[in-house]
Amino acid sequence: MLQLNSHTAGYCQMKKILSILVLFFFVAFGSQLVCAHADDDKVEKKNNGGDDSTGYNLNYSITHQYKLFQLSQFLNHQSLQPLFLFYGLKLNTLLLSGDFDFQPQPKPKKRLGRATLFGLGHMLYATVSYWIRQDVMREDWEYQFTWKDQKRRFLFYDGVRFDSNTFTFNWTHSLAGAMYYNYGRANRLNPLESFLYSFGVSYFWEFVVEFKEMVSINDTISTPMGGPSIGEALFQFGRYFRTRKPNIFNRVLRILSNPVLSMHEWLDRKRIKNQYAFDEDYWHDCRFFVGPRVETLSGYDSSTLFHVGMENQLVLIPEYGMPGASSMRINKPLLVEYNIGASIGEKGLYEFEIFAKSVFFGYFSQHIKTGDNEAPGDTLPGLLDDIDNDDRVGYSFFLGAATAFDVIRRDPLKFPGYEEESGVSGLPDMEDKYCIINLFGPTFDLALFQRGLKVRLAADAYGDFALIHSHAYKKYSQLYDFGQTKSTLENHGYYYALGVTLSSMLQVNYSNLELRGKLKYRYYDSIEGMDRFQRDMADEDDFDLKDQRFSYNLSLGYRIPNTPVQLVLGLEHMKRWGTVEDFSQRSTERRSYFQIKYMF
């Protein structure tokens, strides 16, 4: 009898243990479902049924994984388990009763019809404008609408060439590509579909609308590639500014950052509200800056210019910088960056620059704890919050595939003290312009956290297609005689090239201090044998050109405590090398600047 009771007691004890384990399983499972359901409901209400392909519900799966991680950490606290077990009974009662509907919300349909209408409308406007300006465009006309001529354009080598247009006319094709791309993104197409959309529109224009012209190689590269680099950055920042409070400042930025989204919001104003706003908070670093900049070029006197601009960066990973541990592959945009700046002198606009970058997919890993090693609370992501509320320890890292766009245009005639005869006197060519399309390459980003100290290291490597101002050609043309050469070089001072870009950035933030350093190296080699007027050019006059640039930038910033205002002192140094065959030209540029930055 005693032995039977002993077995019975053991059986009962085992049954209790198994019951507790089963109950714990249902509690954990039910909690996960509640988190997923609540997240789904939040996204549905805020974005009116956002689409994962557009980013309206981009982060559902990632956020769900992160919530499960937080839940598992929370349940590990033994003091809380009885409470969870008690409420778990009620939770499982609801689950079994069917009061919760855990079916995922259907994705809204892609608006292919509207995207097509916008593309056709844009094409109609551009076509009418093209034929109205036929007196200007006639310079590029070489073919008739006949089978003989069109066969040469489509099927033969001589109908596909680099064009002879001006620098401004050519680099702005990338802006058109960014607009085509956003016609797709605004209508719920994903990045790949939007790229194919802009690619199709661009090639239709080149091969069909411009049937009188040769097919421009540079246009077929720069127009569609403007979509992923510029277009995606503007799309995400357009959404970011629509997530912020709707004050006058943010309303203006909404329109300026992405007018395509503004047009679609107006069309949907009676049916859908705030359809492009993010459903998550993302780490961001946005700054306006103004201040004087002193420039010195080899052999020239220094001159002071007024520099103004905006620099923005947005990390599209909700976990980035937040306490917790995660490791995952991400098949959506990870990071976008968009910077714009202008220098103004006594004679007007002297220089402007636009830079855009988008990282589309990659691998993300992170392990961060707060100072007390507890589960995280709610923390607003952003550089200001890194400064004010940082007791984190750990790292955040991602490796991804990126594309970028960079254009700069400098007008030497607007520089105080510049003389047009400077080339004759032996001084280096002060003019500078380039449009660089970083076609594709790896990007690396590592952030280390040690309580109040944050160290961030980033690096990029790209293969490039570029429009490059030749640093040596002006002096070379004054010293040597030659016949007709590359048409854009002879008439506009730039040439088409292939090259590479290598860059890195180190940023250290501690309390209100910020130290930042940047390095960048670029190398370009001209493309021969593909000029529009190649048949009129002697082989020896189609000479090889090379240009290299190496620059570094160091800055020290101090943020005025408890304000979004930062004061920055900086120094920039750039070396340029240009060669035409065996002739070379070198110069050095130095810039020192003071900036007042508004961080938001």
Cβ(428)–Cβ(297) below 8 Å: yes
Residue 104 in any domain: the answer is no
d(CA 289, CA 304): 16
Residue 220 in any domain: the answer is yes
pLDDT above 70 (res 592)? yes
Residues 57 and 92 reside in one and the same domain? yes
Residues 387 and 513 reside in one and the same domain? yes
* pLDDT, position 33: 38
Share of the chain above pLDDT 70, in %: 76
Residues 256 and 332 reside in one and the same domain? no
The enclosing domain of 381 has a CATH number of 2.40.230
Number of domain units in the chain: 3
Cβ(190)–Cβ(320) below 8 Å: no
Residue 322 in any domain: the answer is yes
Cβ(220)–Cβ(243) below 8 Å: no
Long-range CB contacts (within 8 A, 24+) of 175-178: 175/226, 175/230, 176/202, 176/223, 176/226, 177/202, 177/222, 177/223, 177/224, 177/225, 177/226, 177/227, 177/230, 177/231, 178/226, 178/227, 178/229, 178/230, 178/231, 178/234
Residues 356 and 482 reside in one and the same domain? yes
Residue 174 in any domain: the answer is yes
Residues 448 and 591 reside in one and the same domain? yes
Residues 149 and 82 reside in one and the same domain? no
pLDDT band with cut points at 50, 70 and 90 for residue 66: very low
Residue 369 in any domain: the answer is yes
* pLDDT, position 280: 79
Lowest mean pLDDT across 74-83, 183-192, 196-205, 505-514 = 74-83
pLDDT above 50 (res 272)? yes
Place of tokens 């490059």: 468
Among 224, 239, 267, the domain boundary falls at: 267
d(CA 400, CA 83): 42
Cβ(439)–Cβ(482) below 8 Å: no
Place of tokens 């082989």: 539
pLDDT above 80 (res 51)? no
Residue 217 in any domain: the answer is yes
* pLDDT, position 135: 77
Residues 209 and 298 reside in one and the same domain? no
* pLDDT, position 91: 44
pLDDT band with cut points at 50, 70 and 90 for residue 418: low
Residues 123 and 82 reside in one and the same domain? no
d(CA 241, CA 257): 8
Mode of pairing for the β-strands spanning 335-345 and 348-369: antiparallel
Higher pLDDT, 63 or 190: 190
* pLDDT, position 126: 87
Q: How many CB atoms lie within 10 A of CB 474?
A: 20
Distant-in-sequence, close-in-space partners of 419: CB < 8 Å, separation ≥ 6: 425
Residue 490 in any domain: the answer is yes
3-state SS assignment for residue 580:
strand
In the predicted model, what is the mean pLDDT of the chain?
81
The H or E element that residue 337 is part of is strand 335-345
Residues 248 and 290 reside in one and the same domain? no
d(CA 201, CA 220): 10
Residue 287 in any domain: the answer is yes
Cβ(225)–Cβ(439) below 8 Å: yes
Q: What is the per-residue pLDDT across 574-587, written as a single tens digit (0 to 9) for each? A: 999 999 998 999 99
* pLDDT, position 388: 61
pLDDT above 70 (res 137)? yes
* pLDDT, position 535: 87
d(CA 149, CA 277): 50
pLDDT above 90 (res 104)? no
d(CA 332, CA 124): 33
Residues 68 and 148 reside in one and the same domain? no
pLDDT above 80 (res 106)? no
Q: What is the per-residue pLDDT across 324-371, written as a single tens digit (0 to 9) for each? A: 999 999 999 999 999 999 999 888 899 999 999 999 999 999 999 986
Cβ(339)–Cβ(354) below 8 Å: yes
* pLDDT, position 590: 94
Residues 216 and 301 reside in one and the same domain? no
Among 66, 97, 128, the domain boundary falls at: 97
pLDDT (mean) for 277-297? 91
pLDDT (mean) for 394-419? 86
Q: What is the per-residue pLDDT across 479-515, written as a single tens digit (0 to 9) for each? A: 888 889 999 999 999 999 999 999 999 999 999 999 9
Among 236, 267, 298, the domain boundary falls at: 267
Long-range CB contacts (within 8 A, 24+) of 148-152: 150/211
pLDDT (mean) for 24-48? 40
The domain of 222 spans 116-267
Residues 415 and 458 reside in one and the same domain? yes
Nearest to 191 by CA among 464, 402, 496: 402
* pLDDT, position 337: 97
Q: What is the per-residue pLDDT across 110-132, written as a single tens digit (0 to 9) for each? A: 899 999 999 999 989 988 888 88
